[in-house]
């Protein structure tokens, strides 16, 4: 795993300093993921989740000079150039359904795939639809739900469109809407966006996403607790 410095993880920037989605470790062994806060803001201790997926219909495909199907084009698209670099997509309906690919970059209407993930079946502009999942493009966790696919926990504030590192494994702070209990787990589901609650007994991964365990309990609700994060 790549190594980064403490200075790296405790600052944000308005331009990408690393590859979005890159994972790395600090010298103390904690693990992080590099993200873009693509919608809204994050406070220190907030849980971040994947922003909304992007669905576009009616794709055609074309090949590169070696005959690999790496260009996917839709006249329905109107993207910012490079907005989907290093993200994952799937053909989820129509001709070629079920194929998964990794995007190298994009133009306004065309996705260019990494050749290693070139499609095996050509697409049809009549019925081939795709959905793009941008895991490392994040927003604040919603209220109430205990299953949201948390990406990581902010250890400093993010402004809208900031790039920075989220903690995924190791010791850090999380803002909790209830008092946590030392040694027990915690999950999303508070009535305040981005905050967590103490884990509920007799639940499994279909009921609640376990985000880690409490090391030092908070003395009151709506404040930070020291926790060991474990988000995979």
Give residue-wise pLDDT tens across range 42-69: 999 999 999 999 999 999 999 999 999 9
pLDDT class of 34 with cuts at 50, 70, 90: very high
Lowest-confidence segment of 147-151, 163-167, 190-194, 203-207 by average pLDDT: 203-207
For residue 202, pLDDT over 90 is answered with no
pLDDT of residue 206: 73
- CA dihedral angle for residue 216, residue 26, residue 135, residue 230, rounded to 10 degrees: -30
Q: How far apart are CA 118 and CA 66, in angstroms?
A: 11
Residue range 60-81: mean pLDDT, rounded: 96
Residue range 158-185: mean pLDDT, rounded: 96
Q: How far apart are CA 214 and CA 101, in angstroms?
A: 38
pLDDT class of 1 with cuts at 50, 70, 90: confident
Mean pLDDT of the chain: 95
Give residue-wise pLDDT tens across range 82-94: 989 889 999 999 9
Q: How far apart are CA 75 and CA 7, in angstroms?
A: 43
In the chain the domains, ranked by start, together with CATH numbers, are: 2-51+137-230 (no CATH), 54-133 (2.40.30)
Nearest-Å Rg of the Cα atoms of the chain is 20
Give residue-wise pLDDT tens across range 149-171: 999 999 999 999 999 999 999 99
Q: Evaluate whether 195 touches 144 at the Cβ level (below 8 Å).
A: no
């Amino acid at each position: 795993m790549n190594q980064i410095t403490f200075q790296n993880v405790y600052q944000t920037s308005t331009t990408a300093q690393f590859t979005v989605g890159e994972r790395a470790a600090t010298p103390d062994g904690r693990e992080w993921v590099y993200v873009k806060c693509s919608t809204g803001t994050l406070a220190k201790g907030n849980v971040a989740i994947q922003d909304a997926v992007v669905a576009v219909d009616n794709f055609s495909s074309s090949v590169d000079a070696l005959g690999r199907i790496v260009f996917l084009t839709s006249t329905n698209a109107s993207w910012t150039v490079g907005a989907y670099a290093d993200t994952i997509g799937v053909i989820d309906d129509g001709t070629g359904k079920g194929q998964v690919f990794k995007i190298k970059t994009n133009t306004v209407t065309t996705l260019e795939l990494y050749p290693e993930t070139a499609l095996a079946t050509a697409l049809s502009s009549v019925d081939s639809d795709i959905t793009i999942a941008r895991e490392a493009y994040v927003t604040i966790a919603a209220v109430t739900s205990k299953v949201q696919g948390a990406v990581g926990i902010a250890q400093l504030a993010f402004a809208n469109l900031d790039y920075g590192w989220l903690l995924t494994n190791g010791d850090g702070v999380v803002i909790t809407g209830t008092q946590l209990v030392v040694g027990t787990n915690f999950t999303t589901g508070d009535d305040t966006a981005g905050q967590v609650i103490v884990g509920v007994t007799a639940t499994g991964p279909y009921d609640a996403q376990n985000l880690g365990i409490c090391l030092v309990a908070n003395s009151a609700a709506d404040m930070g607790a020291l926790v060991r994060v474990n988000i995979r």
